Amino acid sequence: MISTHTLNRWFLLLASVMLLPSASLVAEVRLPNVLGNHMVLQQQSEVQFWGWSRPAEKVQMTAAWDGVSHETTADSGGRWSLSVRTPEAGGPHSITLKGDNEIVLEDVMVGEVWVCSGQSNMEWSGDQNLPQSIAEAPKANHSGIRFFYIPKTTSDYPQDDCEGEWKVCSPEEMIHFSAVGYFFGKHLHQELKVPLGLVNSNWGGTPAEVWTPKDRVERRADLLEAAGQLQPFAWWPKDPGKCYNAMIHPITPFNIAGAIWYQGESNVSTAHAYEALFTNMIGAWRSAWKKDFPFYFVQIAPFTYGDNLNGPLLREAQTKSAAYPNTGMVVVSDLVDDVKNIHPENKRDVGKRLANYALAETYGKTGLVYYSPTYKRMELDGKTVRIHFEGADGGLVARGGELKEFSIAGEDKKFVSAKARIEGNTVVVWSEDIASPVAVRFGFSNTSIPNLFSKDGLPVNLFRTDNW
């Protein structure tokens, strides 16, 4: 039998062990996943390093590009951050962070960083058997292009961190990455000759509401009503803010050059609210990043929707959204082989058009073709209507025969198919059935693939002169 004295000694020993400091109980300096090996930092700008540690812990950071030590102290909640100025594009660099522990980040590049977001047409990659991604993959060895892929995640509240890991572009990694994002990044990388960081944050099928902070939707009755009309699906969320909280908010301290976006198909049933929703989303992102970065997006392609005007009304809303400051829209109505396929296979040219827009508007490159002609005004002249365009100074051309996809109406608001001819940088429209026309529409149906182009080779955007 064990004596009482012996038992007391055991209890005292156990208590003393429990009171000893343990390494597992010391809060080590920790970084969010977006700050890691192989990452790309935005060049010649203030970038944030942030993370967690024990309260009041001193955290020191030193970057190899200048050897300067930066120091901060964690707050009472164990959060810390510091700001560092990055040099011109280049690398690789190492970065050392020290607190109670030490973290060394290796193979860090400095260049241009872009977020690639939206729904399935941004998400689609070689994983969905896209021929262009499969053909490109074997030659996709680009050490200067880096990918950060954020897994599909939702949250009811804004998150501080997300899953993900920076990867160097290789055939094995490129095949899984957004095709539009990759071809966009590759073109920028080749033209700018700087490292490119691409953040892949997208989810097929998602409406724009889930990428917009919930309060932005709730503060407007029209947006809240439209959100309530969205149908639930098993494969993606529909509630406002769900993806923003988990897939955008965690990376907002990470400085970026801009964002590209391909989404809208899941909002065709509420096209009337899309312009307000979309521009609110862009504004919310910029507020969170504290930066009015450029935002370039793709107009959705022709597709066989249920209602014959769902598609063009959404494309019209996107066109109006392009008036929002520091945005730009690329038209892709000519890059469609099958209007029954909501995922057109040609993603290379979509990415290149986005890249040309960025090269011209963000990076000041000249001589690029990037702006599709858009409707400016009309002139009534008896039985004909003359249409003037923005961005058609170089002239217009018809591909494959006579112009098509024009319709015209009189006061009765009944549209009929119209004839049209090009005169310089304008188009004259008429119909023998309409003696006194008052309105013209162009490409204004779900499946319309017009053949009117600028002489520079970009399709003319759809339009209507009425508001009926």
Phi/psi for 198 (5° steps) reads -120, 120
β-sheet with 426-430: strand ranges across: 374-381, 384-390, 426-430, 419-423
For the domain that residue 58 is a member of, what is the CATH number? 2.60.40
Question: Do the strands 90-98 and 102-118 form a parallel or antiparallel pair, or are they unpaired?
Answer: antiparallel
Query: Looking at the predicted structure, is the pLDDT value of residue 19 above 90?
Result: no
Q: Are residues 315 and 386 in the same domain?
A: no
* pLDDT(21) > 50: no
Q: Are residues 100 and 119 in the same domain?
A: no
In a domain, 20, yes or no: no
Encode pLDDT of 45-69 as tens digits.
999 999 999 999 999 999 999 999 9
Q: Tell me, what's the pLDDT at 2?
A: 47
CA dist 60 and 217 (Å) reads 40
Give the mean pLDDT of 331-345: 97
Helix (H) / strand (E) element for 329: namely strand 327-330
Residue 95 belongs to a domain: yes
- Which one, of 73, 74, 75, 71, lies nearest residue 96 by Cα? 71
Mean pLDDT of 136-142: 98
Assigned domain for 33 exists: no
Residues 56, 163: one domain? Answer: no
CB 39 within 8 A of CB 164: no
Task: Indicate the pTM of the whole model.
Answer: 0.93
pLDDT at position 306: 86
Q: Please count the structural domains in the chain.
A: 3
Name the pLDDT band for 307 (thresholds 50, 70, 90): confident
Claim to verify: residue 148 and residue 105 sit in the same structural domain: no
Does 456 reside within a domain? yes
Average pLDDT over all residues of the chain? 94
Hey, which bits of 119-208 come out as E strands? 142-149, 166-169, 196-202
Same-domain status, 207 and 274 = yes
Do 318 and 397 lie in a common domain? no
8 Å CB contact between 355 and 445: no
**Residue 416 within a domain:** yes
Whether a cis peptide bond, with omega within 30° of 0, leads into 237 is no
By residue count, the chain amounts to 468
> Which of residues 25 and 405 earns the better pLDDT score?
405
**pLDDT tens digit sequence for 391-406:** 999 999 999 999 999 9
Cβ–Cβ under 8 Å, residues 101 and 64 = no
Task: Express each pLDDT in 75-125 by its tens digit.
Answer: 999 999 999 999 999 999 999 999 999 999 999 999 999 999 999 999 999
Q: How far is residue 191's CA from residue 263's CA, in Å, rounded to a whole number?
A: 26
Given this model, what pLDDT does residue 26 score?
Answer: 54
20 pLDDT band (50/70/90 cuts)?
Answer: very low
Residue 185, domain extent: 111-361
Based on the fold, state whether residues 325 and 346 are members of the same structural domain: yes
- 246 and 166 share one domain: yes
Residue 35 lies in a domain: no
Same domain, 301 and 416: no
Q: Is residue 368 domain-resident?
A: no
Q: What is the mean pLDDT of residues 421-428?
A: 97
Residue 9 belongs to a domain: no
Are both 179 and 104 inside the same structural domain?
no
